[in-house]
Chain A
Amino acid sequence: MSSIAWFRLASPASFFPLARRLVPWFSTGAALLAVTGLWLGLLVAPTDAQQGDAYRIIFIHVPAAWMSMFIYIVMAFWCAVSLTFNTRLAAMLAQALAPTGAMFTVLALVTGAMWGKPAWGTYWAWDARMTSELILLFLYFGYMALRNAIDDPRRADRASAVLALVGAINVPIIYFSVKWWNTLHQGASVSLTSAPTMAATMLTGMLIMAFAAWFYAIAIALLRVQAIIVEREKNFRWSGELLRWIR
């Protein structure tokens, strides 16, 4: 592969074909990883001594929680790039990532509730991690709501980028304060990680599912950014290959 002129890729219209080409790779990879991870998690990994088969929720819950946080960081990174270099594509990538991040956050919250009931007898225990996760969901919603409220796309880009960065700086502070709040108000710490010694297959399954989620997130974000580019790049003369999409 010849050296890519990166600066040329910064134009959304130039990035579009690249995004089109990349999506199948990442979606196939996600599917393969997911099948492997699910096989490991549901069939190979042994039943847990303390929690029985209920623990198998972690193969969804933990990757979702990791992705919810990771996507926010990546989103904030692209927001920083968009503000520093005043590029549209970086802002579009952030815009494309947000809904997926929110989806993973919701998934982490509900699967956490599904795990909490059999494991600790209650769907919602106001523990530090889940409460922080809930606040992270508010941060995602705030970003998307601000984007939606501003008509001018460039002002929306810049304003939501500032918001995302302010949020990113605050996330560790919020987590720390919620953790402190939790230890003050609850005697025993409710930890959502499994018992310290995790069987190797459990850990492997979790990691593979995490990679599956990562590949999926990339694929869906690249797909979504294509929609965003078409929505926002009114001046570009689109070729007829786009007709494939509306067949």
Chain B
Amino acid sequence: MNASGLSEFMAMGGYGFYVWTSYALAAVGVAVEIVAVRARIRTAVKSALRPDRAVSVPDDTQ
């Protein structure tokens, strides 16, 4: 891809800000979700494996 092709691609016919902001927001949303869920799993596993120092969450009594 030559240089002018890439710059045209980034410009998106003048609408580059709108288009790339949208794609960036999608990427950010996905990334944040993935990071947050993995962190949530780590926290949950940590407190499950060390019940003496567990976060006090009410039991799942049925």
Contact = CB atoms under 8 A, between A and B. Distances in A.
Given A227-B40, A242-B45, A242-B48, A99 B15 contact: no
Interface in A35-61: 42, 47, 52-54, 56-57, 60-61
Given A53-B19, A118-B18, A238 B49 contact: yes
Contacts of A107: 25-26, 29
Contact of B58 (A115, A151, A226, A230): A151
Interface string B12-35: 111100110111011001100110
A164 to B, nearest CB: 19
Interface residues of B, number: 33
B22 to A, nearest CB: 4
A114 interface: yes
By secondary structure, the A interface counts as helix
4 closest A-B pairs (Cβ-Cβ)? A53-B13, A54-B15, A53-B12, A230-B44
Contacts of B37: 220, 223-224, 227
B50 to A, nearest CB: 10
Nearest to B28: A107
B49 A242 contact: yes
A111 B22 contact: yes
A118 B22 CA distance: 13
B32 to A, nearest CB: 8
Nearest to A220: B33
A34 to B, nearest CB: 9
27 contacts: A42-B9, A53-B19, A54-B18, A56-B19, A57-B18, A61-B22, A99-B33, A103-B33, A107-B25, A114-B19, A114-B21, A114-B25, A151-B58, A153-B60, A154-B61, A220-B34, A223-B41, A227-B41, A230-B45, A230-B48, A234-B51, A234-B57, A235-B60, A238-B45, A238-B48, A245-B42, A246-B42
A114 B18 contact: yes
Interface in A72-122: 88, 99-100, 103-104, 106-107, 110-111, 114-115, 117-118
Nearest to A38: B23
B34 to A, nearest CB: 7
B57 A231 contact: yes
A216 interface: yes
Contact of B60 (A57, A88, A106, A118): A88
